[in-house]
């Protein structure tokens, strides 16, 4: 699997080009279907794929505002950024992350799954008690891009309710799983009074490349107003915990400070 990491990284960082090349290669297969109509079949298949990609791209591009407003990065010249954590709460890693944040006196933002909120309400209450911002990440972490509007609404509504019951107030922030959001998703979150947030700094901690690599990825690409995507659930996050211990002091040495996401919630910027 380690051999694939450079390829996966390139695809992640150049997904538009990867899509064009990948669909072009698939279109070549159409040439073998009918030797008499190779050109029309191949070009037609590729044109269809590219048109579909153009429609879907704003649903997956974390900086796109085409289908509705999202906060990907705060518009500020101040050297501040927001650390955000998805997919929890999940002990013991959420506990360890909260311990690091408390020790470093950093406030962060957690996007919690409704099902995990109901399993570990004490961790959600600790997040709020220690001054962190808590938002919704749906109920079950389903990919909303491939969900019907009805299922999407249920996922968002149930996640919202689970969090509201524990917090004692309605959550004001929402992050769709994988960053995937068809237009109706943004409307559904907005109808519940939630602002949709994505990210601008993604070290890909799900790859588990090592804590030092994760910390370096965050630090090297850090810009004022960044929203950093990390995870406290969804798998083994021990590397994320260790990376957090490394990146916080390193970013402070570079002059950065840390804020909750709502401190960046002026005019959204891609």
Average pLDDT rounded to a whole number, residues 82-107: 98
What is the band of 4 on the pLDDT scale with cuts at 50, 70, 90? low
- Say if residue 89 is preceded by a cis peptide, omega within 30 of 0: yes
What's the mean pLDDT when you consider all of the chain?
89
Report helix, strand or coil for 149.
helix
What local confidence, expressed as pLDDT, does residue 267 receive?
41
What does the angle CA 220 – CA 127 – CA 268 come to, to the nearest 5 degrees?
A: 50
Q: Is the pLDDT of residue 6 over 50?
A: yes
Here the tokens at position 231 are 């995870």
CA-wise closest residue to 155 among 169, 168, 137: 137
Rounded Cα–Cα distance for residues 244 and 239 (Å): 8
Which sequence spans correspond to the domains of the chain? 2-60, 73-269
What is the band of 265 on the pLDDT scale with cuts at 50, 70, 90? confident
**pLDDT-wise least confident of 41-45, 173-177, 261-265:** 41-45
CATH code, 73-269: 3.20.20.370
Catalytic residues: 86, 231
39-76 residue pLDDT tens: 666 677 767 777 777 788 888 899 999 989 999 999 99
What local confidence, expressed as pLDDT, does residue 206 receive?
94
**pLDDT-wise least confident of 13-17, 24-28, 30-34, 165-169:** 30-34
What local confidence, expressed as pLDDT, does residue 47 receive?
78
What local confidence, expressed as pLDDT, does residue 53 receive?
73
Report helix, strand or coil for 145.
helix
Q: Residue 186: which residues within 8 A CB-CB, separation 6 or more?
A: 67, 68, 69, 70, 196
121-164 residue pLDDT tens: 999 999 999 999 999 999 999 999 999 999 999 999 999 999 99
198-229 residue pLDDT tens: 999 999 999 999 999 999 999 999 999 999 99
Q: Is the pLDDT of residue 256 over 60?
A: yes
What local confidence, expressed as pLDDT, does residue 163 receive?
98
Here the tokens at position 141 are 């972490």
Rounded Cα–Cα distance for residues 251 and 244 (Å): 10
Rounded Cα–Cα distance for residues 240 and 85 (Å): 10
What local confidence, expressed as pLDDT, does residue 31 receive?
60
Q: Is the pLDDT of residue 177 over 60?
A: yes
Rounded Cα–Cα distance for residues 75 and 198 (Å): 14
Comparison of pLDDT for 15 and 83, the residue scoring more: 83
Q: Which residues pair with 80 in a beta bridge?
A: 257
CA distance between the termini of the chain: 32
pTM: 0.88
């Amino acid at each position: 699997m380690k051999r694939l990491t450079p390829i996966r990284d390139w695809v992640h960082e150049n997904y538009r080009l990867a899509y064009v090349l990948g669909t072009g290669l698939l279109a070549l297969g159409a040439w073998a279907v009918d030797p008499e109509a190779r050109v029309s079949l191949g070009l037609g298949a590729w044109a269809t794929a590219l048109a579909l990609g153009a429609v879907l791209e704003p649903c997956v591009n974390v900086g796109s505002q085409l289908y509705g407003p999202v906060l990907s990065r705060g518009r500020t010249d101040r050297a501040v950024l927001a650390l955000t954590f998805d997919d929890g709460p999940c002990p013991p890693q959420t506990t360890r992350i909260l311990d690091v944040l408390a020790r470093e006196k950093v406030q962060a933002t957690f996007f919690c799954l409704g099902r995990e909120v109901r399993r570990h309400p004490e961790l959600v209450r600790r997040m709020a008690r220690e001054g962190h911002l808590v938002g919704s990440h749906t109920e079950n972490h389903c990919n909303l891009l491939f969900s019907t509007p009805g299922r999407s609404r249920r996922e968002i509504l149930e996640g919202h309710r689970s969090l509201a019951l524990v917090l004692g107030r309605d959550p004001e922030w929402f992050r769709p799983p994988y960053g995937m959001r068809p237009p109706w998703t943004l409307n559904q979150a907005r109808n519940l009074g939630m602002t949709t947030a994505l990210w601008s700094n993604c070290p890909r901690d799900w790859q588990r490349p090592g804590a030092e690599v994760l910390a370096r990825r965050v630090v090297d690409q850090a810009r004022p107003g960044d929203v950093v995507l990390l995870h406290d659930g969804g798998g083994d996050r021990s590397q994320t915990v260790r990376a957090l211990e490394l990146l916080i002091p390193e970013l402070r040495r570079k002059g950065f400070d840390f804020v909750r996401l709502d401190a960046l919630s002026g005019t959204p910027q891609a």
